[in-house]
């Protein structure tokens, strides 16, 4: 039986559109027996597959979006946890220091160099301006939102506009777009785009396909949190689960008051959440065979 805490770790492991909660689905599927076949023609984020597999059913799943199939396959596949933790460690060794440097700031209380949690921007005017920064200093214990000095505002604007050296997508936005941005990359600050490209580049270097896929699952699940679509009125970094909510509405937008989050901290939080999800998945799906077609 999946309890509500376990349900959270599976359901909130990714922000794919309109995911259904595994706990509720378990009640809907209560009459499903081992050996039954469930057809899920629009599988989306894959939580109904988990609920059906948990009851011993076989599942035929499809979706028009290849991303949905990828996420579903990664979600239900068990993984060796030690290998996954090792893969994370490699990414940490490759990237953590260089990413964190982009979020450095001097603690206003003790003067030591720390890395901020997020910067609050005002996107109201034509020129975006950083308003305040949220800090938690492990040296002196300072843990609050503080305003920025004139010099620090200039420095943060400069850091926020750095350009990626690694690959990043340059696709135009299609579908519902309620911003002046024409490209997806414009939904991110230069700093966050740079940090994400460093992270993506290092994930690509992981040799284990299964671990690499799970890290891509973590990566794609954090993109909303790292974009200017994130509202500064919420603080997903403080979420006890390490996993936050998602899009406020369909389409793309830039919040008037957005947060520029520390990408490394978001990645670590989200990885921890996905790790909890995989621990649960390992415990409820011990034997799995995925076929590419019904004939297999």
CB-wise, 149 or 256, nearer to Zn ion? 149
**Least distance from C-beta 144 to Zn ion, angstroms?**
11
Q: Kindly state the smallest distance separating residue 143's Cβ from Zn ion, in Å.
A: 10
Query: Is the Cβ of residue 68 or residue 137 nearer to Zn ion in the bound state?
Result: 137
Interface of this chain with Zn ion, residues 51 to 110, rule: CB under 5 A: 107, 109-110
Q: How many residues bind Zn ion (CB under 5 A)?
A: 7
212 touches Zn ion (CB under 5 A)? no
Site string for Zn ion, 132-171 (x = CB under 5 A): -----x-xx-x-----------------------------
Smallest separation, CB 134 to Zn ion (Å)? 14
Stretch 104-133: interaction string toward Zn ion, x if CB under 5 A: ---x-xx-----------------------
**Following DSSP, what letter does each residue of the chain receive, concatenated?**
---HHHHHHHHTT---TTPPPHHHHHHHTTT--TT-EEEETT-TTSHHHHHHHHTT-EEEE--S-HHHHHHHHHHHS---HHHHHHHHHHHHHHHHHHHHHTTEEE-TTT--EEE-SEEEEE-SSSS-EEEEEEEE-TTT--EEEEE--HHHHHHHHHHHT---SS----PBP-S-B-SS--BGGGGS-HHHHHHHHHHHHHHHT---HHHHHHHHHHHHHHTTTTSTTSBTT--GGG-TTS-----SSSSB---SEEEEE-HHHHHHHHHHHHHHHHHHHHHH-------SSTT-
Report, in Å, the least distance between residue 96 CB and Zn ion. 20
Minimal distance in Å, beta carbon 141 to Zn ion? 7
Residues that bind Zn ion (CB under 5 A): 107, 109-110, 137, 139-140, 142
């Amino acid at each position: 039986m999946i309890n509500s805490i376990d349900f959270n770790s599976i359901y909130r492991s990714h922000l794919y559109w309109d995911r259904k909660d595994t706990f509720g689905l378990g009640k809907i599927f209560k009459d499903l027996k081992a050996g039954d076949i469930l057809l899920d023609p629009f599988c989306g984020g894959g939580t109904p597959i988990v609920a059906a597999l948990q009851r011993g059913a076989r599942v035929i799943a499809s979706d028009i979006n290849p991303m949905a199939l990828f996420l579903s396959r990664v979600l239900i596949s068990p993984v060796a946890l030690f290998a996954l933790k090792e893969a994370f460690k490699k990414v940490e060794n490759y990237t953590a220091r260089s990413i964190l440097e982009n979020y450095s700031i001097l603690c206003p209380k003790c003067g030591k160099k720390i890395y901020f949690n997020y910067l609050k921007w005002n996107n109201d005017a034509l020129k975006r301006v950083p308003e305040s920064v949220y800090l938690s200093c492990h040296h002196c214990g300072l843990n609050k939102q503080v305003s920025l000095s004139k010099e620090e505002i200039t420095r943060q604007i400069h850091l926020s506009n750095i350009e990626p050296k690694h690959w990043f997508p340059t696709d135009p936005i299609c579908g519902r777009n309620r911003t002046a941005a024409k490209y997806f990359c414009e939904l991110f600050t230069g700093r966050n785009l740079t940090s994400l490209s460093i992270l993506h580049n290092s994930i690509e270097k992981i040799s284990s396909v299964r671990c690499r896929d799970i890290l891509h699952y973590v990566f794609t699940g954090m993109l909303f949190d790292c974009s200017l679509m994130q509202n500064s009125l919420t603080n997903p970094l403080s979420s006890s689960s390490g996993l936050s909510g998602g899009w406020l509405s369909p389409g793309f937008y830039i919040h008037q008051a957005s947060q520029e989050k520390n990408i490394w901290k978001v990645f670590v939080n989200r990885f921890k959440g996905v790790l909890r999800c995989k621990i649960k998945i390992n415990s409820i799906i011990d034997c799995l065979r995925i076929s590419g077609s019904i004939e297999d």
